[in-house]
Amino acid sequence: MRLRSALNALAVLATTALLAAPALAQEAAEHAAAGHGAAGEHARETFLGLPYEVYWTLNLVVFIGILARFAGPALIRFLEDKQRNLAHALAEADRQREEAATMETRLAAQIAELRREVDELAARAEREGQREREEILAEAERESVRIETAPAPRSRRGCSRRRRSSPRTPPSSPPSSPSSASPPA
């Protein structure tokens, strides 16, 4: 844990130094452009006997230290929570992937079963259709034989010839009913 804290503090320090370097360079360039002193004069400005660069560096180190002290733990907690959440999300994704694979296998088995049932139904329908066809053909054959062996029905033309050739007898009158018949007078 201490190593992690030290590495985090070092990372914050390096990041801050990289961010502060352009500002420090610009300030140094402005200071040189202001032309303090003559061309041959290299007078260095100091504060309490130390050059300003030492104070700038000391100021940067103190700032990074304060930042690491107060913002470091929150940053570490944030990163650890993020890592924990990612690990949980990966575990959940693995669980869902396994569940999907199981479901895929189960559905493939159901599809295979349904295909088998469809094939059975098609075969049964084919057999029943063939049996129906054979029954219809057998019935048609029996009807055909019955028609061929049955006596030929008399045609009207044949019946009229017979009537002409047979002696004509007057049609017999239907018996009269007693109510319609009147007594001879």
Query: What would the pLDDT profile of 111-144 be if each residue is shown by its tens digit?
Result: 999 999 999 999 999 999 999 999 999 999 999 9
What is the predicted pLDDT for the residue at 41? 45
**Residue 130, domain member (yes or no):** no
Task: Give residue for tokens 């924990």.
Answer: 84
Q: Evaluate if residue 51 carries a pLDDT over 80.
A: yes
CB atoms within 10 A of CB 87: 10
Q: Residue 13 sits in which domain range?
A: 2-25+46-114
- Rounded to whole angstroms, how far apart are CA atoms 110 and 135? 37
Q: In 3D, which of 63, 54, 55, 53 has the Cα closest to residue 31?
A: 53
- Rounded to whole angstroms, how far apart are CA atoms 75 and 82? 10
**Residue 78, domain member (yes or no):** yes
What is the predicted pLDDT for the residue at 142? 92
Backbone angles phi, psi at 41, to 5 degrees: -95, 125
185 versus 22: which is more confidently predicted? 22
Q: Into how many domains does the chain fold?
A: 1
pTM exceeding the 0.75 threshold for the entire prediction: no
Burial class (CB in 10 A: 0-12, 13-18, 19+), 68: buried
**Residue 100, domain member (yes or no):** yes
- Which residue(s) pair with 51 in the sheet? 46
- Rounded to whole angstroms, how far apart are CA atoms 80 and 4? 11
**Residue 80, domain member (yes or no):** yes
What is the predicted pLDDT for the residue at 27? 74
Report in angstroms the alpha-carbon separations of 40 from 37, 47, 52, 53, 169. 8, 22, 21, 21, 171
**Residue 6, domain member (yes or no):** yes
**Residue 54, domain member (yes or no):** yes
What is the predicted pLDDT for the residue at 40? 42
Task: Specify whether the CB–CB gap between 50 and 106 falls below 8 A.
Answer: no
Q: Evaluate if residue 36 carries a pLDDT over 90.
A: no
Q: Please report how many Cα atoms fall inside a 13 Å half-sphere around the Cα of residue 168, on the Cβ side.
A: 4
